[in-house]
Structure 1
Amino acid sequence: MSCTKKQEPLKVEVYETSASGNQLTQITEFPLEEAVDTIQLLPEETYQKITGIGGSFTESSASLLNRLSKENKDKIIEAYFGESGARYSLTRTHIASCDFSLTNYTYAPDEGDTELKNFSIDEDRDDLIPMIKDAMAVSKDGFNIVASPWTSPPWMKDNKAYVGGKLLPEYYESFALYFSKYLDAYKAEGIDIWGLTPVNEPHGNGNNWESMHFSPEEETDFVQNHLGPKLEADGKGDVKILGYDQNRAGIKEWVDEMYKDEASSKYFAGTAIHWYESTYDYFPEDLQYAHKKAPNKYLIETEGCVDSEIPKWQDDAWYWKKEATDWGWDWASEKDKHLHPKYAPVNRYARDIIGCLNNWVDGWIDWNMVLDKQGGPNWFENWCVAPVIVDPDNDEVYFTPIYYTMAHFSRYIRPNAMIIGVQKTDDSLMVTAAKNPDGSIAVVVFNEEAVVKNFSLKLNNKHINLKIDAQAIQTIIIPKA
C-alpha cells in the first residue's frame, strides 16, 4: 500500500492596487480551485542587483510641502520614506535650477569667477534642503541621491543663457570644480550625494527650459579628463558618475563612446536613462545592449513622469483609463508618432518598471514627488503629474493610483535584492521577481486586462493558487523559508 504525501502550500502575503478600488490592500482570500496558468519562480537564475527605487526632490515639490500644514507635510514625507509608506531608497535632485524650480538660478552667478569663490547653495536653503532633511529623518534604512545639473552657469556657455547652448571647453575645469563645491556644500548640510550625472538631457529638450548640449564625445571627454580626475583629486572618487541621462532609444551611440576603452570607461560608474521616447515601449533591446556593453556598470532610470498633462484631482478612474497624452502626442515627428498613443498612467508606470527590471535596469527614479492641481509650480509652465497632488490653498492631499503603483515596487523590492528568473504561461500578465537581502522573495504581477486572472504561483515544490483583479497590480511576498 502506498500513500502520496500532500504538497505543502506556499506561504504568501498578497497586496493589491486595482481600478476597482484596492490601494495596496492586503488580500487574504485565495481561490481553492486549481489554476490553468502558472507563474514559476526560478531563484537559482539570478540577474542584476537592485540599487534602489524612488522619486525626486525638486524645488517645486519642496515649496508645496512648505505651504501645507505640518500634519499633511509629515503625512507625505512618511508616505514616501517612512516604514509605513513606500520606503523610497533611491532619489534624485537638481543641481541649481530646472523646469521644476520657481525661478532660474545658478550657484555661481558671477561671470568670470572661474575659481568659483562666490559659489553658494543659498537658493536651496528655504525649500529643497529642508525637504531632503525631513526625508532623512524618517527613513530607517536611508536612501541614495543622484544629483543632476540642467545646465552649467550660463556664463560658461557659448550662448550665455540658461536655455540651450554648449559648455565652452575653456570652462571644463571650472564646471568640474562646480560639482566638487556642490558636493562639499551639501555635505556641510549633512547631505551626502551618492551619484552625479554631468548634465540632464544632453540632447537638449527643444530649447524650452534649462539645458546644455553635449555630444557623446564631448561628455566623455569632460568626464574622462576633467570631472572624474577632479573628484578623484578632491577625495570624492567614490561618488558615482552616471553618463547620458536621456531617452533609451539614443543609448547605443552613448555607451559605445563612454565604454569604448579602459580610459574612457574609468570614471563612468554607469548609465542614466529616461522614459520619454514612448508611452508604451520600454526598449528592451536598447537596455540589453547597454548592459552587455558594460555588464558591471549601473543602468539606472533617473527620470520618468506623466508629462504634458494637468493632474486629475480626486479622480482615481482617470489614472486607469487610456486618456492621457504626452509631449509626443502633439509634437513628435511623424515617424515617431506611433510611439506616443493615448495611455493609462498606471499602465505606463507598471509596464515600464517591470520591463526595466526584466532587462538589467537596477534603479528606477520617478520625477516630482509632489505637484499642485495645475501640475506645477513650474516657471516654464511645463505641467506634469506626480504621484501625490496637493491643494495648498485648502490644505488637501490626494494620493493618486501612481503613488500606490510606485509603492508596490519600492516598498517590497529593497536595495541589494537580486532579480530572479520567472516563467509564466499567460503572456498577458507582466511579472518580475526579486530575492531580498533578508531572504524573502517579492513578486510583482500586473494585469492590464479587464478580466480577473487566476494563476498558480510555484516555488520549488510548493505552490499556491491566486487571483489578480481586472486592471490591477499585485505584490506577493514569500517570507524566507
Structure 2
Amino acid sequence: MRLISLILLLLLCGSISAQKVEWYSTTQAAPWAKQKVKPERNDAGSEIVLDAAKRLQVITGIGGCFNEMGWDALNLLSTTERETVLQAIFGKEGACFEYCRLPLGANDFAMSFYSSADVAGDFDLVNFNIDRDRYILIPYIKAARQINPNLRIWASPWCPPAWMKTNNHYASAIRPSGEKDVNGLAPAEAIAEFSTGFRMEEGYLKTYANYFARFVKAYEAEGLPLECIHVQNEPCSNQVFPSCKWRTEDLTFFLGHYLGPTFERENIKTDIYFGTINTANPEYVRVALRDKEASKYIKGVGFQWDGKKAISTIHREYPELRLMQTETECGNGANSWDYAEYTWNLMKHYFSNGINSYHYWNMILPSPGVSPWGWNQNSMVSIDKKTRTVTYNPEFYLMKHLGHFVQTGAYRLETPLDKNMLAFVNPDGTITAIVANVTDADETISIAVGKQKVTLALPPHSFHTVNWKQ
C-alpha cells in the first residue's frame, strides 16, 4: 500500500513539475521583476482554465514604427549605449519586436517634409529615389535586424508627393486661429473636410501606383522586403502634418484600378492592406470589401485610433480577413503609468476583437518627444538631449510583457471576458498569460494549465506575464 502511495506521489509531482513556469511582474516601483511561482495541483476549483485547444486568431507579429526622430535620438548615444537600447527592444532578452512599420515618405515624426519623388510633374518618376532613407531609416532598420534577423517590415504613406495633392502641400490642415503656424499652409489651401486630397486624374493615379511599386522594389534592393503596404495612413483625417484625406470610393477606386493591377503586372508579392483606417464607421471599409475590383487585391485591413470602434463589426462580418492594429494612441508626452494602463485597455480591446498583429507607435524619441509640428508624444524609450540619459517608460515594459513571450505564429486563447487578461499558445507549445491589475486594491488570481495551476498575488496597478513551458 505504501509503495502504491509513493508511486502516486511521484506521478503527481512529475505532472506538476512537467511544466516550467515563469512569472514576471511590473509595477511603477519595480519593473520587470522575476517572481517566485509555486505550481499547485489543479483540483478544478475557481481558477481560470487555459485550454491550448481553444484557439482563436493567429498572431502574425508584435512591433513598433521606425521614425526618423527615433534614429536621430539614438545617435546621441555612444555605440555601446545605442546597442543596449536596440537590444532592449529587438533582442531575445528584450521585447523581441519582430514585425515593424515604416513610413513611405514623410510622417509626423520625420525631420521635415519629403517624399521619394519630389520633382513636380515627374510622371515617369525619372527622379525617384530613396536616398534620404539610406541615411536615416534604412540604417535604423538594419541596426535592428542585426539584433533580430527575423525582423519583418511593412509600410504606409502619410502623404503622396505634394504635387500629387490638390493643394500641392504635404499638410492638409492649418492650426486653429491664434495658434502657431507649423506648416506654412495658407488657410485657402486647406483640404475641404469631405473631399479627397489626391488629384483623381489619370496621370496622377498611374504615377502614384508606380510610386508604390518603385518603393517596394527599392527596399527589396536594400535587402529589406516589405511584407505588406497600407494604402494611406489615416485616410479619414486632414492633419497639420503630412496627410491626405480620401473618400472611401476614391481610395477603393485607386486600389482596385491602379495599385492592385500595377502590383500584379510588376509581379510584386507584397500584400496590399486597406488601411490604416481611423474612422468608427465600418461602412468606410465595407465599400472596399464589397467592390469587385478592389476586394480581390485586399489581403487585410489595418485600424488605428477611432478605427478601434469599427473593428468588431468588420471582424464579425469578415471573420477570415486578416486585421492589424497599426498604431497605438500616442498620449501627450507624459509617459505616465496611467497611460500605460490606458494602452493595456486598448491592447485588450484589439486582441479581443480579432487583430492578428499589434504595433506600438514611437519606439524611441528624444525627451521631450515633440514632433516638428508641435505635438509632444509618448514613446517606449526616451533619450534626454542634454544629459543623454536613457529612460525606459511604463509602456516599454507593457510592450515587453507582450512581445517577449508571444511569438509570431502564436494563437490567442479563450479567456473570461470579465478578466483583465490575454492568453496565447506559441508555436513551441508554451502558453502565455498576460494579466493586469488596474485597481487600487490587491487582487488574487488562479490560472490552470492542464493539471497544474498557479495562484498570483497581484499588487495594485501592475502588469504580469506567466509563461508555461512544456
Paired letter, 1:168: R
User: Would you identify which runs of 4 or more consecutive aligned residues in structure 1 move more than 4 Å?
Assistant: 1-8, 29-37
2:117 aligns to what? 108
C-alpha spacing 1:31/1:193, structure 2 compared with 1 (3 Å): closer
Conserved? CA contact 1:350–1:473, under 8 Å: no
> Following the alignment from structure 1 to structure 2, what is the Cα–Cα distance between the partners of residues 310 and 163?
22
Conserved? CA contact 1:99–1:382, under 8 Å: no
Say which SS state the counterpart of residue 393 (structure 1) adopts: coil
> Following the alignment from structure 1 to structure 2, what is the Cα–Cα distance between the partners of residues 157 and 437?
45
> Following the alignment from structure 1 to structure 2, what is the Cα–Cα distance between the partners of residues 304 and 431?
18
Paired letter, 2:88: A
User: Residue 404 of structure 1: which of 392, 397, 407 is its match?
Assistant: 397
User: Residue 330 of structure 2: which of 283, 289, 306 is its match?
Assistant: 306
> Following the alignment from structure 1 to structure 2, what is the Cα–Cα distance between the partners of residues 179 and 400?
35
1:297 aligns to what? 321
Paired letter, 1:249: A
User: Residue 385 of structure 2: which of 387, 392, 395 is its match?
Assistant: 392
2:208 aligns to what? 175
2:165 aligns to what? 157
Paired letter, 1:375: G
1:468 aligns to what? 458
User: Residue 193 of structure 1: which of 218, 226, 232 is its match?
Assistant: 226
User: Residue 258 of structure 1: which of 267, 288, 301 is its match?
Assistant: 288
* Residues paired across the two proteins, number: 435
User: Residue 24 of structure 1: which of 2, 8, 32 is its match?
Assistant: 32
**Post-superposition shift, 1:246?**
3.0
Say which SS state the counterpart of residue 423 (structure 1) adopts: coil
**Post-superposition shift, 1:262?**
4.6
> Following the alignment from structure 1 to structure 2, what is the Cα–Cα distance between the partners of residues 16 and 162?
44
- 1:413 aligned onto 2:406: yes
TM-score (norm 1): 0.85
**Post-superposition shift, 1:36?**
7.8
Say which SS state the counterpart of residue 340 (structure 2) adopts: helix
C-alpha spacing 1:77/1:473, structure 2 compared with 1 (3 Å): same
Conserved? CA contact 1:420–1:433, under 8 Å: yes
> Following the alignment from structure 1 to structure 2, what is the Cα–Cα distance between the partners of residues 381 and 153?
22
1:204 aligns to what? 237
Gaps of 5+ in 2: 173-190, 192-196
**Post-superposition shift, 1:452?**
2.0
1:247 aligns to what? 278
**Post-superposition shift, 1:63?**
1.2
> Following the alignment from structure 1 to structure 2, what is the Cα–Cα distance between the partners of residues 293 and 224?
21
Moved more, 457-466 or 179-188: 457-466
Deviations 1:221-251 (A, max 9, x none): 1111111111111111x2121113133523x
2:436 aligns to what? 446
- 1:368 aligned onto 2:362: yes
Q: Percent identity at matched positions?
A: 29
Deviations 1:394-419 (A, max 9, x none): 22100111101001111111111011
**Post-superposition shift, 1:219?**
1.0
Moved more, 241-250 or 354-363: 241-250
User: Residue 262 of structure 2: which of 226, 230, 237 is its match?
Assistant: 230
C-alpha spacing 1:276/1:70, structure 2 compared with 1 (3 Å): farther
Say which SS state the counterpart of residue 464 (structure 1) adopts: strand
C-alpha spacing 1:399/1:138, structure 2 compared with 1 (3 Å): same
Q: Cα RMSD (Å) of the superposition?
A: 2.3
Deviations 1:339-373 (A, max 9, x none): xxxxx111112111122112201111111111111
> Following the alignment from structure 2 to structure 1, what is the Cα–Cα distance between the partners of residues 366 and 246?
33
